[in-house]
Amino acid sequence: MKNKKVCVYAISKNEEKFAKRWYESMKEADEVYVLDTGSTDKTVEILKKLGAKVTLKKITPWRFDVARNESLALVPNDCDICVCTDLDEVFNPGWRKKLESLWEDGVNHLRYNYNWSHDEKGKPLVNFYIEKIHARKNFKWIHPVHEVLRFNGKKEIWKTTDEITLDHYPDSSKSRSSYLPLLELSVKEDPLDDRNMHYLGREYMFYGRYNDAIDTLIKHLSLKNATWKDERCASMRFIARCYKYLKRYEESRMWLNKAINEAPYLRDPYVERAILEYELNCFDESKKYALKALEIKNHAKTYINEPFSWNNTVYDLLSICDFYLGNLDESINWVNKAIEMNPNDKRLLNNKKIIEEKRNSIN
């Protein structure tokens, strides 16, 4: 098999704390290109010293798709495989050889494993497939934010793999303030795009604009191309969450019922319903939905992943519910399972002590 020319490309701005780690991960490529959009720290100096080919250009007004396309333009036309990453991301070593072996004749787009967030021990919390490895020709980034690749050729040929993993270690100090206006712009430019309508509704929820979030998420559900049940279920969950924040609990229950009916194979709506009932001191109902959540074993690899659906939360809820329902042996069993997943959680350890003391006082 002929060796492929592999090029990494990225955008950067004030990433000096990540630059060396990122480059060391990316240097398996033949060439590494970076478009720096206005760093005032040592990002550019570090990257150039390490061997990256850095171009400086400010993007005004700022749009992620424009910046991505400008960075892609730096990659030479004889490149076989383009790898787009961000400077807060790291590949597992050996990724390049695996990539070449997977890039069979005709393949022009690759899905691969992405760990979006991690716990304190480095264990992935949110995991899904990402799609930022592609052929040099016939691809263009679109949308001002939450940008995606659009294929403009004759036939897009996909390959999906778990052999390549990219880990994301975000800088929590960086502001997301630009996202909301860019999402509003994105929806204005393409009001029929279901993905961005969903993202905009979610962003309104994050900002506490609950009525705007509800209206926007209902718009998402009304779009003809909003057919992906996982995302529809998430919009319904977010509507329910907004109603809960507004203390309109029956409407919250109604939308969680809709979410469960939309995607009964997902844990997330059952867990959100269990959380709602727990917060309302309805322990029988909370337990019922938590147990239903545990019946679902398949963890879908999409960006619609809630960490609380797969960490110790469900066992924690069950332990507390059974405690208040007087089922102390069951409560101990559940809290032990929660502690097994999170052994250093002081609250869980204290809960176990309280449950044991109550059980011993009765016996």
Give whole-number Cα distances, 48 to 32, 40, 240, in Å.
Answer: 10, 15, 49
Q: What is the mean pLDDT of residues 152-176?
A: 91
Encode pLDDT of 312-337 as tens digits. 999 999 999 999 999 999 999 999 99
What pLDDT was estimated at residue 301?
Answer: 84
Res. 303 pLDDT band, cuts 50 70 90: confident
Encode pLDDT of 48-99 as tens digits. 999 999 999 999 999 999 999 999 999 999 999 999 999 999 999 999 999 9
As a whole number, the mean pLDDT across the chain is 95
What pLDDT was estimated at residue 252?
Answer: 98
- The three-state secondary structure class of 91 is strand
User: Which residues, including other chains, have CB under 8 Å from residue 207's CB and lie 6 or more apart?
Assistant: 180
Percent of the chain scoring above 90 in pLDDT: 90
240 and 255 Cβ atoms separated by less than 8 Å: yes
Asked if the 6-168 domain carries CATH number 3.40.50.2000, the reply is no
Query: First vs last Cα of the chain: how many Å apart?
Result: 72
Encode pLDDT of 271-294 as tens digits. 999 999 999 999 999 999 999 999
What pLDDT was estimated at residue 2?
Answer: 64
304/16 Cα distance (integer angstroms): 31
What pLDDT was estimated at residue 1?
Answer: 47
123 has pLDDT over 90: no
If one compares 347 and 303, the residue with the highest pLDDT of the two is: 347
Q: Provide the residue ranges of all domains of the chain, joining segments of one domain with +.
A: 6-168, 179-310
Full-model pTM: 0.92
Give whole-number Cα distances, 74 to 11, 21, 223, in Å.
Answer: 11, 22, 37
What pLDDT was estimated at residue 127?
Answer: 92
Structure tokens at 213: 């979030």
CATH superfamily to which 179-310 belongs: Tetratricopeptide repeat domain (1.25.40.10)
